[in-house]
Amino acid sequence: MAAVEIDGPIIEQTSNLDLPEQVIHKILSFLPGEDAIRASATSKQWRLAWISSPVFSFNEGSVPFKNLDFFDYVDASLALWRDRCDSRVNMERLSLTADFSSDESYSRLNQVIAAATSRNVKVIELRNLNFDELFWIDFDSGLWLILLACNSLDNLSFKCFQFYIANPLSAISSSLKKLKLSCNFIDEGSLKNLLLCFPWLEDLEFGFCYGFDELRVSCPSLRSLKVTLSEDLAQKVVIDAANLQYLSYTRTFRPPGTISFSNCKSLTTLHIDRAVFTTVCTIDKYISQIPLLENLVLDGCEMPGIIHISHSNLRSLKFRRCWRLKKAEIDMPNLRSFRYYGGAIFHISTFKYCSGFLEAKLKLYTGSLDCTEWFWFIRLRNFLESFSNCKVLTLDCHLEGFTEKLRDNYFLPDPLYELKHLEITNLSLPIDDYSSFVDAMVGLFPFVETLSLKTSSAAIFIKFDESGSFSVKSQVSINTSNTEHDQTFQSIKASVDKIVEFLCIKCRRSNTNVFAASNTRNRTLSAARPRESCEEKIAQIS
């Protein structure tokens, strides 16, 4: 990169000794426990700030103390903090990662949690390091009673534990708003009884848990729910939450599962990843139960070749990796954002959206050279016609190759005037071959404002303005050697020269702003002159 000089006032460097204690506390809160200890050794002020910090993170796996010695270290740290701080100072967060497999460690865990709740802790994060022997949490024990009795507790997280709650508990938590369960064993009945303990729960994250055949989540106060499942667990997920506003459902592996909603009329954002929709109107049936829905994301879902989606309130729709999709009927009069990422160009028989306000971004992938033959561009042009009344239309194509017919304008389909931004990526095509297809791209999309041509080692960016002038920039990938940089630089220079020459000729033929185009060509050629070193060449051409 070229050196940049900025004129301005000289600012004196402030050492860490001059930072206020509250700022140091904030910095320490983002650090793991062992890094916070190292930071505290830099000065006396930082050590005092570390002692008084209301955020604690203890990880048995990153310190030399093990088993009971680790809990001695935790107790000593908390005792030092209590002696240093006024009793009115509350604890913000306690994060504890340890091996809880022994009875002694369970007893010491109770003591640590009791010490934290006595100082009105807000966040507790517990993680078990023993993956082979998950620690059972006995809900009739002192630990659970301590947690439920803490009125300041707002956020609670468990990872790698086992839960078993045979009957509903009499005690409830009046303060907990967020619960995160990760990699835990919990059956259907235990999950139901667990949620009954938190009547004011608003945010639930349920990730990679197991022990159930069917996942049912029922919580009237819930506002945000994130479910992540793996393998073949819980093929059916049922959600019942009257106040739910955000729902994310993700399956990390095949096979896909099914999801259904009951009493989720307040939902505004729905993200579904790898679900199964069996019929044409299955999606329509689901979202018809959600009248306030504004944002819908369908990612990697298994659906029939033809789908129908209709919703009067939806404003944002995103399809991603829905490979079997061939035909769609979309009726969304208030739609303002449309995203499609996939390999197939599907047919849109009906597309109703907010005319003049829709911003559409399409990212297409092809798997072989045959897919990018001349007829593919015919289908592409017909596909883009559905977006003829958009406010902004952006196209990003990842292609395997280009047919030779594109070099001849007589074979091009009718131009599409609505496309504003075009990006073409071909990792195997040399950058200097791109100059042969600029004529075709400009002819097919005559009103394009930005055109990006990318390969694995280089990229060329062309920007057009309303007056008819243009600018050309380029860059070389940093993951290449100096010799490859030199070779790629020469290829870019030759390609840029050809592109500039063609665009200047086109401007003169159109009799639009010849002087601006000529000046742009001169500036680009001047910037592309080779220098003595590769770094100077890249800095100049960029």
Which residues touch 89 (CB under 8 Å, ≥6 apart)?
A: 52, 54, 119
Quick one: 480 exposed, middle or buried, by C-beta within 10 A (0-12, 13-18, 19+)? middle
Banded model confidence at residue 537, pLDDT cuts 50, 70, 90: very low
Percent of the chain with pLDDT over 70: 76
Give the separation between CA 486 and CA 448, rounded to whole angstroms: 31
Task: Identify the band that residue 133 occupies on the pLDDT scale cut at 50, 70 and 90.
Answer: low
What is the tens place of the pLDDT at every residue in 410-427?
Answer: 556 677 788 889 888 877
CB 382 within 8 A of CB 348: no
Whether 394 and 363 have beta carbons less than 8 Å apart is answered as: no
Residue 393's nearest CA partner among 416, 360, 424, 434 is: 360
- Per DSSP (E only), the strands in 164-311 are 178-182, 203-207, 214-218, 224-229, 236-240, 246-251, 258-262, 269-273, 295-299, 306-310
Percent of the chain with pLDDT over 90: 20
Number of neighbours of residue 227 by Cβ within 10 angstroms = 22
Give per-residue pLDDT as tens, 483-492.
666 777 777 7
Q: Is the pLDDT of residue 208 over 80?
A: yes
pLDDT in tens, 145-201: 888 889 999 999 999 888 888 777 777 887 899 999 998 889 888 899 889 889 999
- Tell me what the mean pLDDT of segment 331-354 comes to: 86
Element (H, E) at 330: strand 327-331
pLDDT bin (cut points 50, 70, 90) of residue 294 is very high
Pairing of strands 178-182, 161-163: unpaired
pLDDT digits (tens, 9 = 90+) for 66-81: 889 999 989 988 888 8
pLDDT greater than 60 at residue 509: no
**Residue 34 to residue 57: CA distance in whole angstroms:** 8
Q: Are 490 and 531 in contact (CB under 8 A)?
A: no
Quote the mean pLDDT of the chain: 78
Instruction: Please state, in angstroms and rounded to a whole number, the distance separating the CA atoms of residues 147 and 174.
Output: 11
- Confidence (pTM): 0.78
